[in-house]
Chain A
């Protein structure tokens, strides 16, 4: 224990679902580095680019015809808010990776608008990540990443890239946008991997 602030009481939530240093919010704050891009549905695609020029892509119609999953997960933002039991609908990355043949270990997620973030493949596969397009029963709002965003709830939420465009598979773990601006390469909230 460090410095004690006598007179500080705080508000004890003691919720076991909260990682260290997090507090619960009922809101859904928006955190973005710049303006929200506007992406018409008929221009939307999701791609996965692997080695040897291998590039799979889905139009919105193709994407919507894939098996959809209901997801209920806690989400944790590095700025210390957590939102518990949020509900989403989207396509599992396992589904999207079915026909991808790769030996790469990492991915750079690219968003419309230029945002990037790096994620190990290990964190994307095995029922841990989705491309989500519905939040709380409604189409995902543009401010929250609509038409679709990555959803990787077991990592800090900046990894769940808004306005997701695609994944570029990489040999090495290449720092993305926030990771090049002082934030942790990996971002596990339970280990408080906040800053580099």
Chain B
């Protein structure tokens, strides 16, 4: 089923920041997806040329809707069209949702540590939303590393959940500039900063790391060195040359 191209209709487009937008798709016959999965999107030009890219699903709806959040790459072939030109009512082709590894299932009892770099937060947001919508009471903690407040995704929702939900804690690390009045200045992410803001080894969390290659490799190495079990760490690379695994 997941290898078949299907038609999806754009039913909404919501800007997240200056370069990213969430696109809501309706896919007839779709019955939900796993939190953390991705879809392939195929765009075809009027002369038949087509291009395919993978995008993580950011929503957690059990029906025929799903959201993808697309960050525009300055030099991108597909993302500028999706962020700037695609309109409500347009159709495109998708394949998936696919992926059975970098996913969170509501029957997991372990605590969960999510670590997102930049737009690597997208599949993690799907997990947060699936967790919020479920009666799973395990602790979720998100460490969100980003360059500046202006590049942040899901700002209001994450702030609200952090304040109101007993099931989720959110920590932010700003590497270039911080929000006004932020207690600390911007700083490079270090092993010490990271380890001070995540669930401890003793909590045996399932860990999901998503971001650019260097971010993911570096963070995963720090975690293993600090004693987190390699088997508990799932990684996914995001962005750059055509997206995620």
Residues of A within 8 A of B (CB): 1-12, 21, 23, 25, 27, 29-37, 78-81, 113-114, 143, 177-178, 180-182, 184, 194-196
Contact = CB atoms under 8 A, between A and B. Distances in A.
Contact of B220 (A1, A4, A29, A34): A34
A196 B93 contact: no
A5 B242 contact: no
B213 A30 contact: yes
A149 B240 CA distance: 24
B228 to A, nearest CB: 9
Given A4-B45, A6-B46, A12-B49, 11 more contacts: A1-B48, A21-B52, A23-B52, A29-B241, A33-B234, A36-B221, A78-B245, A79-B54, A80-B52, A182-B2, A182-B101
Interface string B202-245: 00000000000100110011011000001101110100111111
Contact of B213 (A29, A34, A80): A29
Contact of A81 (B92, B101, B242): B242
Contacts of A178: 101
13 contacts: A5-B92, A10-B77, A10-B78, A21-B50, A25-B241, A33-B234, A33-B235, A34-B231, A80-B243, A180-B100, A182-B98, A182-B100, A182-B101
A35 B3 contact: no
A179 B223 CA distance: 27
Given A3-B93, A35-B221, A9 B240 contact: no
Contact of A34 (B50, B78, B85, B235): B235
Contacts of B49: 10, 12
Contact of A182 (B5, B45, B50, B99): B99
Given A8-B85, A182-B100, A80 B54 contact: yes
A22 to B, nearest CB: 8
Most B CB contacts (10 A, CB to CB) among A3, A113, A143, A196 go to A3
A180 B100 CA distance: 8
B2 A195 contact: yes
Nearest to A27: B241
Contact of A5 (B3, B90, B220, B245): B90
Contact of A23 (B51, B93, B223, B235): B51
A3 B44 contact: yes
Contacts of B51: 10-11, 23
Given A21-B52, A34-B231, A5 B224 contact: no
A36 B7 contact: no
B19 interface: no
Contacts of B7: 2-3
B24 interface: no
Interface in B144-163: none
Nearest to A5: B43
Contact of A29 (B96, B102, B221, B237): B237
A184 B98 CA distance: 11
Most A CB contacts (10 A, CB to CB) among B45, B48, B233 go to B45
B91 interface: yes
A180 B85 CA distance: 37
A69 B76 CA distance: 37
B21 interface: no
Contact of B45 (A8, A36, A114): A8
Most A CB contacts (10 A, CB to CB) among B54, B221, B224, B242 go to B242
Contacts of A10: 43, 45, 49-51, 77-78
